Structure 1
Amino acid sequence: MASEQLRVLITNDDGYESEGIQALASAIEAAGHDVMVVAPWNDQSGVGSARAGMIGRRIASKVGENGFIGIDGTPALSVTLARLGAYGPPPEIVVSGINHGHNIGPILHSGTVAAALTAATQGMSALAISINAEDPSHLDTAGAVAAEALNWLQDQPIGTVLSINVPDVPLAELKGARWARLAPYSRSRLLVTESPTGEPVVTLQTLPPAEETDTDEVLLAAGYITVTPITGVQAIADDASAAYLDERFAVD
């Protein structure tokens, strides 16, 4: 499949100076695309699709030595500002990552994944790419996967979003790629306990692995790239609830 040059926005939730975003930008640029990098200037992990304080607020930014733009805001805000042309010609497509650590299961709070979903609401396709290590050794592997995935994504309908997880191994050691169902839960579960003074304290509990064999959790652990097309908020064609309320409130 021939690759068309695209204006690609690179963003993430680990910060515009993170190793992951540098590796991703290099890989996408090497694939022949016009790259722009706009991302939070500090770690914004876990912020989801937040864009708090965007309206009417001056959003500070800084430019790194490599030309990457860091903003005082979230990944979703980075996507929105870039799409509105705040930092030059708007992007045509978004690649978010490389996230340090996997994003498996229904991760609603991931800033990396939320940036890709935000792009879809603004007329772009996107992919979120994560590597299965908090301190990765093979970001070049994830970068190569992202560049190839982008080659496929550009021919898909606008609004297509992929969440991809990559093992932290040399490229030659990848077992391949598999479509993956989202794991029904994460291996870590949040618990709330009470401090000696009565305030809530959030802790993590490690859960046993899922028994399913086709989830992103299981396939990633087995050495496969996991690929999951995802969607954000969308309407469901079911008018039962509206009909129920209409019966009670319709004017005769």
Structure 2
Amino acid sequence: MFKRLALVPLLLLSFLATGTAPAQALHREPLRILLTNDDGYSSTYLHQLREALEAAGHEVTVVAPAADASASGTQINARFGGTIEAGKQDHGWAVGGSPSDAVSFGTRVPFAGDLPDLVVSGPNPGENVAAAATYSGTVGAAITAVVAGVPAIALSVARDGSAVPSAARSIAFTVRLVNRLAATANGGPVLPARTALNVNYPVTPNGTVSLAHLGTSLPYGAGYTPAPEACPLCYRIVPIADPGPDPVPDADRTLLAAGNVTITPLDGSWEAGSATATAIRSRLRSLTP
């Protein structure tokens, strides 16, 4: 589970809460953006977002997995001495690996010595909220960017069955979000150090953008049923939905279901909070090597 940021700069809170700012405050510099995803370089949504960001004046280089790499989390190829295949494309690079491989390669080859201002990962067809964010390749790419010292945005869009009816609106929103971050950076980093924003866009927006906590439930998970027709030791992986409420107040999963656009700041840390650490320290006080 990613640790929630205890503090978010007041400026970030303000512009996300209000959704607007005085026109004179919206001057921005174009950003150099590394764009990736977990659905592969050929994803239509990826290139729609690329075109929208470029139309807004940003410089975009796509560095994405060559093929679909969904649900890969922060998986990365660290087999030193091995190889990874990466080929130049019309708008960037296609990398034979995971989203994290793509971001790691991108920061060390196309952007070697001059890191991008921002990594944007997505749009992913299907939300990545609560505990599901842990397994998301979309979010994993953003966390890999943070580890490399680059702020990031992970964008996911809720499904309506197999359809993603708000994909176009989510792309337009992401451009506005990127523009707002650029306009309020005041010459500094696009986001505070070690910060990624996990953005989830609802099927039917209700007009509210909310800073949300990362929930702890799994909206969906994997079940296993015997599949002897496939092989003697095989189990078939089947989806299991959990329609119950998330126990965390103002959880991203809950607010997204209500129609809010949710934005959850992440710092990539799996460290437990101070109260948990204090309790463990007390219980282990007499433990010796």
Shared fold, TM over 0.5? yes
Q: Cα deviation per residue 1:192-241 (whole Å; 9 max; x = unaligned)?
A: 33334343333222222316673222322222211111121255664765
Alignment of 1:43-82 (within 5 A): 43-53=68-78, 55-64=80-89, 66-82=90-106
Aligned residue for 1:119, secondary structure, equals helix
Partner of 2:149: 123
Which of 129, 151, 157 is the equivalent residue of 2:179?
151
2:13 aligned partner = none
SS in 2 for 1:185: coil
Deviation at 1:18, TM superposition (A): 0.3
Tell me, in whole angstroms, the C-alpha distance in 1 between the residues paired with 2:50 and 2:206. 21
Q: 2 CA distance for matches of 1:141 and 1:186?
A: 26
Greater RCO, 1 or 2 (C-alpha within 8 Å, sep 6+): 2
Tell me which residue corresponds to 1:248: 288
* 8 Å Cα contact 1:120-1:161 kept in structure 2: yes
Structure 1 unpaired stretches of 5+: none
Q: 1:215 aligns with which of 246, 251, 272?
A: 251
Aligned to 1:95: 120
Q: Secondary structure at the match of 1:123?
A: coil
| Residue identity matched to 1:160 | T
The alpha-carbon deviation at position 106 of structure 1 amounts to: 1.8
What amino acid is aligned across from residue 61 of structure 1 in structure 2? A
SS at the partner of 2:288? Answer: helix
Change (3 A) 1:215 1:74: same
d(CA) in 1 for partners of 2:181, 2:108: 22
The answer to whether the aligner puts 1:190 opposite 2:214 as a matched pair is: no
Deviation of 1:78 (Å): 1.0
Identify the residue that residue 85 of structure 1 maps to in structure 2.
Answer: 109
The answer to which of 232-241 and 32-41 deviates more is 232-241
Equivalent-residue separation in structure 1 for 2:115 and 2:52 (angstroms): 20
Instruction: Report whether the alignment pairs 1:180 with 2:212.
Output: yes
Conserved? CA contact 1:54–1:77, under 8 Å: no
Give the structure-1-normalised TM-score. 0.85
Is 1:225 aligned with 2:261?
yes
Normalization by structure 2: what TM-score?
A: 0.75
When the two chains are superposed, the root-mean-square deviation of aligned CA atoms in Å is 2.7
Distance in 1 separating the partners of 2:283 and 2:216? 32
Task: Give a deviation string over 1:87-122, Cα, whole Å, max 9, x none.
Answer: 665322100000111111122110000110111111
SS in 1 for 2:193: coil
Contact (CA 8 Å) 1:125, 1:153: kept in 2 or not?
no
- Does the 8 Å CA contact 1:9/1:37 hold for their aligned counterparts? yes
Is 4-13 or 182-191 further displaced after alignment? 182-191
Aligned equivalents of 2:226 and 2:48: distance in 1? Answer: 42
Distance in 2 of aligned mates of 1:68 and 1:138: 26
**% same residue:** 31
Moved more, 237-246 or 54-63: 237-246
Instruction: Please tell me whether the aligned partners of residues 142 and 154 of structure 2 are also in contact (alpha carbons under 8 angstroms).
Output: yes
Which range is displaced more, 31-40 or 77-86? 77-86
Hey, what does 2:235 align to over in structure 1? 200
**Who is 1:109 aligned against?**
135
Aligned with 2:238: secondary structure? Answer: strand
Match of 1:180, as an amino acid? A
